Amino acid sequence: MNTPYRERRARAAAQLGEGAVAIVPTARVQVRNRDSDFPFRPDSYFHYLTGFIEPEAWLVLGADGRSTLFCQPKDMEREIWDGIRLGPEAAPAALGVDEAYPVHELDARLPKLLENTATVWYPFATHPGLETRVDGWLGQVRARARFGALAPEGQRDLCAVLDEMRLVKDAHELDLMRRAAAISARAHVRAMQTSARMLRAGQDVREYHLDAELLHEFRQHGSEFPAYGSIVAAGANACVLHYRADAARIRDGELVLIDAGCELQGYASDITRTFPANGRFTGPQRALYELVLASQQAAAEATRPGARFTDPHEATVRVLAQGLLDLGLLDAAKVGSAQDVIAQRAYFPFYMHRTSHWLGMDVHDCGSYVEPSEVGQVSERRDPLSGELIKDRPARILREGMVLTLEPGLYVRPAESVPRPFWNLGIRIEDDAVVTAGGCELISRGVPVDPDAIEALMRG
C-alpha cells in the first residue's frame, strides 16, 4: 500500500533502538457539556503515524517495524448512533498495520507486548494519565519476573523522535498544507469583499459577519475545522493580540485585522491580513501597512536553507526599527539610531511578538527551535528592557521542507509620544513559508498583500 504512514512508521521504528517498543494513543473525546462532545480531532502524532481518525485507538510500534493497532470493535448498535467503525478485522488491509485488536483488549495485551523489551517509548506530558497506565502495564510485566519475564528498564520520550520527523514535511504533508493555505486564502478574499460590499450597502457590519464568511469558505472546500480560533478585529481591537471574532461594529474608515486559517485533514494554515473595512486605505494606514509589508518582505528574503530560524525575525526588526523612526513613532532625539532601537528593544511597545513559528499539523507546530548539534553552546546576555539574564542557544538552521510563518506586525496604542493619526492602528501580515532549495515559497499568497491589489479586489 502506498501511503505515507507505513513509511513514517518505518522511519520512526528505525530510531527506537534495539528491543524497544513505542506506544502512541490518539486523543480523547472531550465532553463539551452534558451529552455534547467537542468535535473529535485525532492526536497529531497518532494521525501522523496511522492516518486513522477514529477515537479510542492506540498504536504500538516495535523497533523491528511491527505495528499493532487497537481500535473500536465493530458494534451494530453503536454504529447506528455514532457512525461506521473500521474495526480490527479490516484495519490491517486498510491501514497497513500488521495486527489489530479491539481496544478493550489493550490492558490485557500490552504487558505481553512489553515483555522482554529493553525500552518503552511514549509521548511524555501530552496525554494526562498515560504515565500511570504505562506504570500499570510495567507492573504486570514485573509480576511475571519469577517466570523469567524481563521488563523494559528504560522509558523515553517519543516526542523527541516524532518532533524531528514532523519538522521536515514530506510530499504528502506539503500537498495538504498547500491546499489548506489555498482554502484559507479564498476565505480571506471573501471576508474582505463582504466587508466592503456591506459597508457600500449601508449595512451594520459586525466582526461575526466576516467570521461567518471565513467559516463558509473553509467548510465549502472540505476543511473540517478552523485550525485555531479566528481573530476578526475591527479598529482598535486589532491591538489585542489574542482577540477573537466578536460582535464589535466594523466602521467605514477603520482597518480590520483577520488572523484565520483552516485545518485540512490534520494540517493547519495560518494567515493574517489587515485591510481597510471600506476598501480604501487612508494615508497613515497605508504608510504603516507598507512598513509592515516591507518588513515581511525582508523576512521572506532571509528565509532559506542554511539560515537560522531567528534570521527572518532579525531582518523584520531591522526594517521596522528604521521605519518607526522615519514615520515619527519613535523619536531619534530620544532613542537614537535604528541600531540603538534594536539594541535597546525600543520597538517593543509596537512589536511585542516574534516573527515566526513552525507550522504543520499543529498551528504552533512541534520541533526544536534550537539547532540539535549546538545545544551545548550557551551564551548569556541581559535583556535591555527587563534586565533579566537570558541564556541563548544557537537557533535552528533552516532546511528544505520546514514550514514556518512570517508574521510581522505593528500595534499602536494611544500615547502622547505617538502622532495621533497612528493611534489604535493594529496591522499584521502573516504568510506560510515552505523552505525550498532556493529560498522559500509563500503558499498563502492566494490572498494578496499588496495594498493596491487589496483595494482592487475590494472594489470587485
One-letter amino acid at 407 equals E
Listed residue (228, 230, 231, 232) closest to 263, CA to CA: 228
Q: Is 290 a catalytic residue?
A: no
Listed residue (55, 323, 359) closest to 181, CA to CA: 359
Q: Is 357 a catalytic residue?
A: yes
Choosing from 173, 207, 362, 430, which is the catalytic residue?
A: 430
**362 in contact with ligand GLY (CB under 6 A):** no
Of 27, 180, 363, 454, the residue at the interface with ligand GLY (CB under 6 A) is 363
**259 in contact with ligand GLY (CB under 6 A):** yes
> Quick check: 308 and 396 in contact, CB under 8 A?
yes
Specify the residue, 259 or 362, whose C-beta has the smaller distance to Mn ion. Answer: 259
- Residue identified by cell 454504529 is 79
**365 in contact with ligand GLY (CB under 6 A):** no
Read out DSSP for 146-196?
Answer: GGTPPPP-EEEEHHHHHHHHHHS--HHHHHHHHHHHHHHHHHHHHHHHHHH
- Residue identified by cell 526588526 is 317
> Quick check: 54 and 79 in contact, CB under 8 A?
no
Give the integer Cα–Cα distance in Å for 195 and 184: 17
**211 in contact with ligand GLY (CB under 6 A):** no
- Give SS3 for 262: strand
**DSSP letter, residue 38:** P
Interface map 389-418 toward ligand GLY (x if CB under 6 A): ------------------x-----------
**115 in contact with ligand GLY (CB under 6 A):** no
Q: Is 127 a catalytic residue?
A: no
β-strand 119-122 against 20-25: which pairing, if any?
Answer: parallel
**54 in contact with Mn ion (CB under 5 A):** no
Kindly state the smallest distance separating residue 259's Cβ from Mn ion, in Å. Answer: 4
Choosing from 270, 362, 431, 455, which is the catalytic residue?
A: 270
Size of the site for ligand GLY (CB under 6 A): 7
Q: Which helix (H) or strand (E) holds 206?
A: none
**259 in contact with Mn ion (CB under 5 A):** yes
* Residue 411 binding partner per list Mn ion, ligand GLY, none, with a CB distance cut-off of 5 to 8 Å that depends on partner kind: none
Q: Is 452 a catalytic residue?
A: no
Q: Is 246 a catalytic residue?
A: no
Strand partners, 151: none
* Residue 97 binding partner per list Mn ion, ligand GLY, none, with a CB distance cut-off of 5 to 8 Å that depends on partner kind: none
Residues 410-449, interacting with Mn ion (CB under 5 A): 430
Q: Is 430 a catalytic residue?
A: yes
Residues that bind ligand GLY (CB under 6 A): 228, 259, 270, 357, 363, 407, 430
Please give the positions annotated as active site. Answer: 35, 242, 259, 270, 353, 357, 364, 407, 411, 428, 430
